[in-house]
């Protein structure tokens, strides 16, 4: 297979993913609206993922704490992968599957929203985190790859993308930016 063929096949998958993303426009808009409603009630947004999804979780919270495209007040967002001492202590003293769940048990409240980012939907630490958030009355949402998967059945609200891992991650990145754009428009109005 030539490099050009690889690129063309990947672009075909991305086009399919964008069609799927466009079909999820109402859900993406609802995520932005519901996140702002949670913040208005005094809640915060807690986000976690593993590997590339951890990087996206950090990016997402950075966009909320800083700004996305336009100046607006910072929003309360916590990346659950940020505290390396807590992560390694929990993994060492308990289990790596508990690294996010223990943080959620301590930090999450009923007005908060926990968002799990996973391409497989089978990460034990994210499934346990969703269970822990439910135990404290915090909503759990997920962006996952193809269903059925354990995370999708555990969370209250799910945004699903089909395709190989890389395409799922790329669609999740676009979805994060679209959610941030919805939030900017809610906070600042639609003027650019």
The model's pLDDT over 153-172, given as tens digits with 9 standing for 90+, comes to 999 999 999 999 999 999 99
Domain assignment of residue 16, yes or no: no
Query: What is the sign of the dihedral through the CA atoms of 155, 14, 68 and 50?
Result: positive
Does residue 85 lie within any of the structural domains?
A: yes
Q: 133 vs 30, 45, 119, 177, 184, CA distance in Å?
A: 20, 12, 20, 24, 26
Calpha distance 78→151 (Å, rounded): 20
Q: How many CA atoms lie within 13 A of 77 on its CB side?
A: 21
The conformational region for residue 103 under phi > 0 = left, psi -120 to 50 = alpha, else beta, is alpha
Given pLDDT bands bounded at 50, 70 and 90, which one contains residue 189?
confident
CATH number at residue 157: 3.40.50.10490
Q: How many domains does the chain have?
A: 1
User: pLDDT class for 1, splitting at 50, 70, 90?
Assistant: confident
Q: Find, among 179, 134, 186, the residue nearest to 155 by Cα.
A: 134
Q: Is the pTM of this model over 0.75?
A: yes
7 inside domain: no
6 belongs to a structural domain: no
What percent of the chain clears pLDDT 90, i.e. is strictly above it?
95
In the chain, which ranges are continuous DSSP H helix? 3-23, 25-40, 52-65, 84-93, 101-107, 124-135, 150-154, 165-188
Q: What are the tokens at 40?
A: 């208005």
Q: Provide the CA 64 distance to its chain's centre, in angstroms.
A: 12
Asked whether residue 108 is domain-assigned, the answer is yes
Look at residue 9 and tell me if it is in a domain.
no
Q: Is residue 109 part of a domain?
A: yes
Residues in the chain: 192
Task: Report if residue 166 sits inside a domain.
Answer: yes
Percent over 70 (pLDDT), the chain: 99
pLDDT greater at residue 2 or residue 102: 102
Range of the structural domain that residue 112 is part of = 22-185
């Amino acid at each position: 297979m030539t490099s050009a063929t690889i690129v063309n096949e990947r672009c075909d998958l991305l086009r399919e993913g964008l069609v799927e993303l466009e079909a999820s426009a109402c859900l993406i808009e609802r995520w932005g609206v519901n996140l702002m409603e949670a913040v208005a009630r005094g809640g915060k947004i807690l986000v976690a993922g593993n590997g590339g999804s951890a990087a996206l979780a950090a990016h997402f919270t950075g966009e909320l704490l800083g700004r996305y495209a336009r100046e607006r007040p910072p929003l309360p967002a916590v990346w659950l992968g940020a505290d390396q001492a807590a992560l390694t202590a929990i993994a060492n003293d308990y289990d790596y599957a508990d690294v996010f769940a223990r943080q959620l048990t301590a930090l999450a409240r009923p007005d908060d929203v926990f968002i799990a980012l996973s391409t497989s939907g089978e990460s034990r630490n994210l499934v346990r985190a969703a269970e822990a958030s439910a135990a404290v009355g915090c909503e759990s949402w997920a962006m996952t790859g193809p269903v059925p998967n354990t995370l999708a059945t555990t969370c209250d609200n799910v945004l699903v993308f089909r395709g190989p891992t890389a395409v799922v991650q790329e669609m999740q990145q676009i979805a994060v930016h679209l959610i941030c754009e919805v939030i900017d428009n809610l906070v600042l109005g639609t003027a650019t």
